[in-house]
């Protein structure tokens, strides 16, 4: 499968004749975020990559979940980092979204990467700013290495020390900087972290900035336009990848 490096991503975009579609936490507009059901649905909707968030359980296993705490999306309470994988596995991660998804579990990163490899789908792994982020990144490097999946993933963070450190540790792996706002020099922002990609909130994307990124051999993947108007704006600015909760809406607009 093509990697998320600048040349591979740009050549895939060119061959498709459209920006790449990234399923945000899977297809979270339609299925419980960051679950296998959500990633599988996103894949059925024809995404080119899926995005997810990771945390570490108390016994050191990387699990796929957005918040540091459990109550918003699962039947549990409290911090993920205080619970073992076995305890996390007992929680329902689907019913709060819809009773149709009752019984869905919090997946491990290994499970998602294994599934994604099987269907040849790149995975964009976001590391949240967290006092424990170094340990989370170290665990992710170990897992990705063990699974020989370095070419199939991109590592992104709002904490730009994460992609910077990763690039030093594994120069060949793809990294990206997340941000909200419109920096005067977005290329310098990415370059200071040695990142391959820029990931601005869609609201701040300007065509001119995309052109500057391309001139510096960096791709632009924005997130997370969801309405037709928002998606239309992101498409009109010429970005290379769009992360959305509704991959089906984006597909329909791109046809």
Q: Which stretch binds Ca ion (CB under 5 A): 47-55, 93-101, 102-110, 200-208?
A: 47-55
Does 223 sit near ligand G3P (CB under 6 A)?
Answer: yes
Compute CA 118 distance to the chain's CA centroid, rounded to the nearest angstrom. 18
Integer angstrom CA distances of residue 45 from 133, 181, 214, 255: 32, 30, 28, 13
Least Å from the CB of residue 215 to Ca ion: 27
Q: Is 126 in the site for Ca ion (CB under 5 A)?
A: yes
Closest residue to ligand G3P, judged by C-beta, is 223
**Count, residues near ligand G3P per rule CB under 6 A:** 10
Q: Report H helices in 147-180.
A: 161-169
- Dihedral through CA 10, CA 188, CA 225, CA 239, nearest 10? -30
| Cβ atoms of residues 74 and 96 within 8 Å | yes
Between 53 and 240, CB nearer to Ca ion: 53
Binding of ligand G3P by 243 (CB under 6 A): yes
Q: Are 160 and 129 in contact (CB under 8 A)?
A: no
CB 43, min distance to ligand G3P, A: 17
Element (DSSP H or E) covering residue 39: helix 36-44
Does the active-site annotation cover 160?
Answer: no
Binding site for Ca ion (CB under 5 A): 53, 126
Binding site for ligand G3P (CB under 6 A): 24, 51, 53, 66, 126, 178, 199, 223-224, 243
């Amino acid at each position: 499968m093509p990697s998320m490096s600048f040349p591979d991503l740009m050549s895939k975009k060119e061959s498709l004749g459209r920006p790449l579609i990234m399923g945000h936490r899977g297809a979270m507009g339609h299925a419980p975020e960051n679950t296998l059901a959500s990633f599988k649905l996103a894949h059925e909707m024809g995404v080119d990559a899926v995005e997810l968030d990771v945390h570490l359980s108390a016994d050191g296993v990387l699990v796929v979940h957005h918040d540091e705490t459990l109550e918003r999306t699962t039947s549990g309470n409290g911090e993920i980092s205080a619970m073992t994988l076995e305890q996390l596995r007992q929680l329902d991660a689907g019913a709060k979204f819809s009773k149709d998804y009752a019984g869905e579990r919090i997946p491990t990163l290994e499970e998602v990467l294994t599934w994604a490899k099987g269907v040849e789908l790149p995975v964009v792994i976001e590391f949240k700013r967290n006092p424990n982020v170094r340990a989370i990144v170290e665990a992710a490097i170990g897992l990705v290495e063990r699974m020989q999946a370095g070419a199939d993933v991109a590592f992104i963070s709002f904490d730009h020390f994460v992609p910077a450190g990763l690039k030093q540790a594994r120069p060949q792996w793809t990294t990206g900087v997340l941000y909200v706002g419109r920096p005067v020099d977005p290329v310098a922002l990415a370059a200071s972290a040695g990142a391959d990609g820029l990931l601005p909130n869609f609201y701040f994307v300007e065509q001119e900035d995309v052109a500057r990124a391309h001139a510096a051999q960096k791709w632009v993947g924005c997130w997370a336009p969801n309405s037709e108007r928002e998606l239309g704006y992101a498409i009109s600015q010429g970005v290379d990848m769009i992360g959305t909760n509704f991959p089906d809406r984006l597909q329909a607009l791109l046809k």
